[in-house]
Amino acid sequence: MQTGTIPLEGGPKWRSGNFPPLPPSQCFIRTLGFLYGGKGMRGFILNRKKKSNNGCRRLQGQDLVRTIFFEGLPYLNGIERKPKKLPRRFFNMVPLFSQLLRQHKRCAYSRILQRMCPVVEERDTEQGELSSLLPQHCAPHRVYLFVRECLSTVIPQELWGSDHNRLHFFFRVRGILRSGKFEKLSLSELMWKMKGNDCDWLKISKTGRFPPSELAYRTQILGQYLAWLLDGYVVGLIRACFYVTESMGQKNAIRFYRPEVWAKLQDLAFRGHISKGQMEEMTPAQVASLPKATVTSRLRFIPKTDSMRPITRVIGADAKTRHYRGRVRDLLDMLRACVRSSPSLLGSTVWGMTDIHRVLRSLAPALKKEPQPLYFVKVDVSGAYESLPHEKLTEVVEQALSPVQDELFTIRRYAKIWADRHEGLKKSFVRQADLLEDSMGSTNMKGFVTSLQKKGKVHHAILVEQHFCFDLHGSEALQFFTQMLTGSVVQFGKKTYRQCRGIPQGSVVSSLLCCLCYGHMENVLFKGITENKGCLMRLVDDFLLITPDLNKAQSFLKILLAGVPQYGLVVNPQKVGVNFQVPGSMGSCPGIRVLPPNCLFPWCGLLLDTHSLDVYKDYSSYAGLSLRYSLTLGSFHSAGQQMRRKLMAVLRLKSHALFLDLKTNSLEAVYKNIYKLVLLHACRFHVCAQSLPFGQTVAKNPLCFLRMISDMAEYGNQLIRLSNKGLVLGSKAQTGTLQYEAVELLFCLSFLLVLSQHRPLYKALIPHLHKRKRSLEQRLGDLRLARVRQATNPRTPDEFFAIQM
């Protein structure tokens, strides 16, 4: 399910050749354009050749003018449109763009690149040295210095118009190079503060007055040029000289690798991947004999801290590829329908914090009444997706689909639109498969919506049906799965391979297949292990056992450490953790982390108190990373409203009942969770405020931002109460265990701590927050105020010192 708001927008028109261009507020240059290049300067925009009936020739100034202002990239491919003759204004530009091309030919790109972003010379690099190559990516600032030097060398001074324009453009280049993977810059923001009157080359006449229409036309031309300069020249230069990629565990931050370094990294990663026996190379004859319906996947790697993760995805937009993707999604939907009717197929699978909360909520209350020692075991599978045996996968999927072999499925796609008081108008897109005979499988939308309403799954919403079919048999899903598994063809470089073990990690159905396989294993090997107040949870391939029985904990650890070959399960000892002494037979296994009996036990971004089962958020994943990369702000007209919507949405996601439920957690733990959650949210507020476009600042409209903080405190209070239905938390009459005033005071203290570190920026907000803080402290009683002070001690938790803003 995807939720969000997508405005009408597009890219610069020089790419598509569709003129006239979009308004600047709807034209965007995206950071995504940088990714996965590294092919060298041969395909760079200024090195392209113009195709024509007489063959190919080098670009000339006239070709560049036509490409930027009239016909776009199709012109270089030989598609010409009117005007055949350039208008006088644009004809006068030809000498300047001819000069740009000459200076490009003389520019020593490779020398500038080596000076600004040098490659560290390495001797023969072996598999063990993969970790030494991974940190050799170029800092965004070094990449910016390279781009700035190239722009200064290639672009004629007359095209800048003035130093003001040149420096302003450099500032925007630096900003987009530091942005996250999904960020975008609008042409409006790029042109903001640019002085068109400084650019004589825009003018058809350099003397006399001119009407407003002439000014508007000059501005449009300048916008087209700047869009090409950033999206064509700068983005193209980055793609030519660097391989840009995201990295695991770094939120939306991107890395810039020199192609030489990336080639070594990719070669080492592929050699390690192929050595595990998951793929076998196909001969040219075998490739030629593949059925026409065969879809080829592409393999790429994503950097991790000390290794590379393989991602296999089907690439393409042709009819054959679209049909294949549709079949994969149908398989996923049908398997989900089977799992809904038989949840035991998934074993101990949890899909996120809601499932984890459900499991712990059934265990924690009894433990709090009768405390007893608990033994924790966490185990991480090494290469889970790549090591699943095909025979076992087929057996497991056959078992899941066997009850519905002769059944008909309905598959429905629909859009859901609803209004949220705090986050505004929202929408989501849903796919769902149901058995035709089931009430949810109604062939008409009215019957389907009625079933949803009876189950309480929808209210105050508009549902729009987008697609519906009811002719899919369970046997077809099994047949397609077998074809998908045995006919998986992967391309890497110029070679083609057949995947003979494991499943593609980038497929939408991979996680569910992995969970079905391990769920089957748990039902065979670990039946009854959670009896007597224990629980077993697994987030895809991360196991966690909590049990009061030490023998069960040791037995579980012993079985998994030994591996389970029939399921392809091999444990990574470096990611095994326990809170008890490991027996001698298993203690010899290097890397097992032994924690104290009473501790905060880390698992999948959580910290679980081994004594009380209180749950805390693990903030160590934010260490050394800028919060800017955890937020995608975009570029909008109403940036303040978008900031409010974004912060409200993040607050809702982070204020999960797992951390706020008083039936699962102690009151002290909930207070501490609220404080840390709000403190990090105050940091996000600062990051968003610093990212406002067009020079907007908090000081220009302090009341708006004060209201935003107040609304967040109110929304936070509402979310806390939704997490504790049936409990009396307290009203504004000073009753209950967790009062409105206490939560609002935690918001005041958090925002004061963060904003006071940047006092000049928030001097209009800080006095109001101090005044509200004093008022709340007076209204809270001594005991309740003491709880707030206990939660906020220390004012800055240790793990927050490593978070960058």
475: Cα within 13 Å, side-chain hemisphere: 3
Q: Which CATH number fits domain 368-387+511-602: 3.30.70, 3.10.110, 3.30.1370, 3.30.420?
A: 3.30.70
Sign for the CA dihedral angle at 287, 288, 290, 292 comes to positive
Look at 8-17, 19-28, 525-534 and tell me which has the smallest mean pLDDT. Answer: 8-17
CATH topology for the 614-800 domain: Tetracycline Repressor; domain 2 (1.10.357)
126/275 Cα distance (integer angstroms)? 14
Burial class of residue 357, CB neighbours in 10 A (0-12, 13-18, 19+):
buried
| CA-closest candidate to residue 246, choices 36, 507, 30 | 36
What per-residue confidence (pLDDT) applies to 349?
A: 95
* Range of weakest confidence among 165-174, 576-585, 591-600: 576-585
**Low-confidence winner among 114-118, 404-408, 673-677 (lowest mean pLDDT):** 404-408
Query: What is the per-residue pLDDT for 4?
Result: 38
Q: In the chain, which residues fall in CATH 1.10.132.70?
A: 12-117+138-246
pLDDT computed for residue 227 by the predictor: 95
Residue 634: the pLDDT is: 63
Mean of the pLDDT values across residues 208-226?
A: 90
Q: Name which of 600, 599, 610 is nearest 545 in CA terms.
A: 610
At residue 369, the pLDDT reads 85
pLDDT in tens, 228-265: 999 999 999 999 999 999 998 788 899 999 999 999 99
Looking at the predicted structure, is the pLDDT value of residue 299 above 80? yes
Kindly tell me if the per-residue pLDDT of 82 is higher than 70.
no
Over residues 717-752, the pLDDT tens digits come to 999 999 998 777 765 545 567 889 999 999 999 999
Which regions of the chain carry the CATH code 1.10.357.90?
614-800
The mean pLDDT value of the chain amounts to 89
Pair 68, 202: CB distance under 8 Å: no
Q: What is the pLDDT of residues 472-524, one digit of tens each?
A: 888 889 999 998 988 889 999 889 999 889 998 888 999 999 999 999 999 99
Least confident residue range of 438-442, 513-517, 578-582? 438-442
Per-residue confidence at 558, pLDDT binned at 50, 70, 90? very high
User: What is the C-alpha separation between 160 and 164, in angstroms, rounded?
Assistant: 9
Rg of the chain on CA atoms, in Å:
30
Q: Characterize the bridge pairing of strands 606-609 and 424-435.
A: unpaired
- Ranges for all domains in the chain classified under CATH 3.30.70: 368-387+511-602
- For residue 439, what are the contacts with CB-CB under 8 A and spacing of at least 6? 447, 451
319/638: higher pLDDT: 319
Q: What are the backbone dihedrals phi and psi of residue 20, each rounded to the nearest 5 degrees, phi first?
A: -75, 160
One-letter amino acid identity for 229? L
Residue 195 structure tokens: 């002085």
Which CATH number applies to 12-117+138-246: 3.20.20.140, 3.30.1050.10, 2.40.160.20, 1.10.132.70? 1.10.132.70
Strands 606-609 and 375-380 turn out to be unpaired
pLDDT tens readout for residues 36-68? 998 899 999 999 988 877 778 899 999 999 999
| Per-residue confidence band for 3, with pLDDT thresholds at 50, 70 and 90 | very low
Return the DSSP state at 70. Answer: I
pTM here is: 0.89
